[in-house]
């Protein structure tokens, strides 16, 4: 049995049939529509490879986190201006890790100053451009190294800053997304807090809050430990603290057997800490959460065309016109993304399953979407498909397009945002001229 499934939250399509998250067949499917729109129509209008995002899914994920005082979107997950703007309109604040991300936030109408600060620069260092920008535009800084305190303090006095603390432990879906503990470069080491308090004082900077982000794709067990670590750090700083940030890290179910995060249980833990400190110190404490993946992952689809169906010994390969230049998560982390096949004729959905390897066009053996961490190629049970048909790589909205590259001189894909059932092109496909802009041939022998 193969499901014909349109997973979009907004979907009211005739073929809408959403199995429960535990249904073991959920992740093996034929798909004809995305959010009520025929994939074939999207492809003929915009071409492939194509990223498609569903606004309704993003908004639903935002609503699920409203118990926190403030949601601050980690735009590194997907920083397309149109996406950022839709999120801003829902009263969600934004995080930035570079001058470019600060500029994106300003571009869509986030104002630099406010309480809480609409834009926060969280990083482990300043490059010259970022330092100049946070100084000139009065952007709030969440310092991830003692040097950031010194470098900011030598330019401005009297500002509030927050500190990103590495509590000495971390966890992620991959070791590469673990941002805590001694192997991580991120944050101020917890034992250096006293030194950083002193540095800040000497520069006339006031530490008004603490932040911890121990990794991405983290489980609730590890995330919950952060609350205890935050408590002892907050007590060390004392009542000058008016805000706490739980960071991001919330996962989403990418495959069968993975469950949804219990947001209310997680919130209770943080709220408990916040309440007890607020009571003790006699002033309110703002509680922020900083998700990237949780808001975007499930909203995004990467559509690609099958250009070859190749047999190599016992393996059959579906080779797509999208590769790790479009979606790097499988080659980087062995990340699993659900996939579905789009039949050339919308009605032709009765396809047998076959075990296939799915790869891309790049001249590199690792350009495989069905691999495990370490580069081990795996097969995936997918509906039988032919050249010219399409594959939709699902749950690709977070860390998808943004981690793309021009490797092999491939242009960056186009991006479409569906709002209220209507598709809008929000980034056109790069052209060859875009690709070579800024390069020059030397006029010398």
Question: Least CB distance from residue 93 to ligand LLP, whole Å?
Answer: 12
Is the Cβ of residue 292 or residue 404 nearer to ligand LLP in the bound state? 292
Question: Least CB distance from residue 257 to ligand LLP, whole Å?
Answer: 19
137-176: contacts with ligand LLP (CB under 6 A): none
Please state whether 158 falls in left (phi above 0), alpha (psi between -120 and 50) or beta. Answer: left
DSSP annotation of 26 reads T
- Nearest CA-CA partner of 163 in 133, 127, 205: 205
**Which tokens go with 33?**
């529509």
Question: Least CB distance from residue 51 to ligand LLP, whole Å?
Answer: 15
Residue 217 interacting with ligand LLP (CB under 6 A)? yes
Binding test (CB under 6 A) with ligand LLP, winner from 11, 177, 208, 340:
177
Q: What is the largest CA-CA distance in the chain?
A: 75
Q: Given the rule CB under 6 A, which of 234-242, 243-251, 345-353, 414-422 is the region that contacts ligand LLP?
A: 243-251
Q: How many residues bind ligand LLP (CB under 6 A)?
A: 22
Which residue out of 8, 35, 196, 363 is catalytically annotated? Answer: 363
Does the annotation mark 363 as catalytic? yes
Peptide bond into 301 cis (omega under 30): no
Backbone Cα Rg of the chain? 23
274-303: contacts with ligand LLP (CB under 6 A): 290-294
Length of the chain: 445
Residue 8 interacting with ligand LLP (CB under 6 A)? no
Q: Position of tokens 């989403």?
A: 252
Binding test (CB under 6 A) with ligand LLP, winner from 110, 399, 415, 418:
399
Peptide bond into 49 cis (omega under 30): yes
CA dist., res. 239 & res. 382, Å (int) = 57
Question: Least CB distance from residue 261 to ligand LLP, whole Å?
Answer: 11
| 66: CB partners within 8 A, 6+ apart | none
Contact status, residue 199 vs residue 150, Cβ threshold 8 Å: yes
Binding test (CB under 6 A) with ligand LLP, winner from 58, 74, 134, 149:
74
**Which tokens go with 110?**
């986030």
CA dist., res. 246 & res. 314, Å (int) = 48
Question: Least CB distance from residue 173 to ligand LLP, whole Å?
Answer: 6
Site string for ligand LLP, 359-398 (x = CB under 6 A): ---------------------------------------x
Task: State the catalytic residues.
Answer: 363
Point out which residues bind ligand LLP (CB under 6 A): 74, 76-77, 95, 122, 177, 213, 216-217, 247-250, 290-294, 329, 333, 398-399
């Amino acid at each position: 049995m193969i499901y014909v499934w349109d997973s979009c939250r907004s979907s009211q399509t005739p073929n809408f049939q959403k199995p429960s998250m535990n249904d073991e067949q959920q992740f093996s499917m034929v798909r004809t529509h995305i959010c009520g729109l025929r994939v074939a129509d999207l492809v003929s209008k915009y071409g492939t490879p194509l990223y498609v995002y569903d606004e309704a899914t993003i908004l639903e994920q935002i609503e699920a986190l409203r118990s926190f005082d403030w949601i601050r979107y980690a735009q590194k997950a997907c920083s397309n201006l149109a996406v950022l703007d839709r999120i801003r309109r829902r009263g969600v604040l934004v995080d930035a890790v570079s001058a470019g991300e600060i500029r994106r936030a300003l571009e869509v109408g986030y104002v630099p100053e406010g309480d809480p600060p609409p834009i926060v620069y969280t990083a482990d260092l300043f490059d010259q451009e970022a330092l100049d920008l946070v100084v000139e535009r009065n952007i709030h800084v969440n310092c991830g190294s003692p040097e950031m305190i010194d470098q900011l303090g030598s330019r401005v006095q009297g500002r509030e800053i927050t500190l990103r603390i590495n509590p000495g432990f971390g966890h992620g879906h991959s070791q590469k997304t673990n941002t805590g503990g001694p192997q991580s470069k991120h944050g101020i080491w917890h034992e250096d807090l006293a030194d950083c308090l002193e540095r800040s004082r000497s520069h006339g900077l006031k530490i008004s809050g603490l932040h911890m982000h121990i990794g991405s794709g983290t489980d609730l067990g590890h995330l919950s430990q952060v609350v205890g670590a935050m408590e002892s750090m907050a007590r060390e700083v004392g009542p000058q603290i008016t805000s706490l940030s739980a960071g991001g890290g919330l996962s989403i179910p990418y495959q069968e057997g993975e469950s949804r995060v219990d947001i209310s249980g997680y919130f209770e833990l943080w709220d408990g800490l916040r309440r007890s400190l607020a009571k003790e110190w006699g002033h309110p404490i703002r509680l922020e959460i900083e998700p990237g993946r949780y808001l975007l992952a499930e909203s995004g689809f990467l559509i690609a065309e099958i250009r070859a169906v190749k047999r190599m010994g016992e393996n059959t390969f579906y080779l797509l016109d999208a590769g790790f230049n479009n979606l790097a998560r499988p080659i980087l982390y062995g990340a699993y993304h659900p996939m579905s096949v789009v039949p050339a004729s919308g009605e032709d959905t009765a396809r047998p399953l076959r075990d296939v390897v799915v790869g891309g066009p790049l001249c590199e053996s690792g350009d495989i979407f069905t691999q495990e961490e370490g580069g081990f190629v795996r097969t995936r049970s997918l509906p039988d498909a032919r050249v010219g048909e399409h594959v939709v790589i699902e749950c690709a909205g977070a860390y998808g397009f943004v981690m793309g590259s021009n490797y092999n001189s491939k242009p960056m894909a186009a991006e479409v945002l569906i709002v209220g059932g209507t598709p809008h092109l929000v980034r056109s496909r790069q052209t060859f001229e875009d690709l070579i802009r800024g390069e020059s041939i030397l006029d010398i022998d």
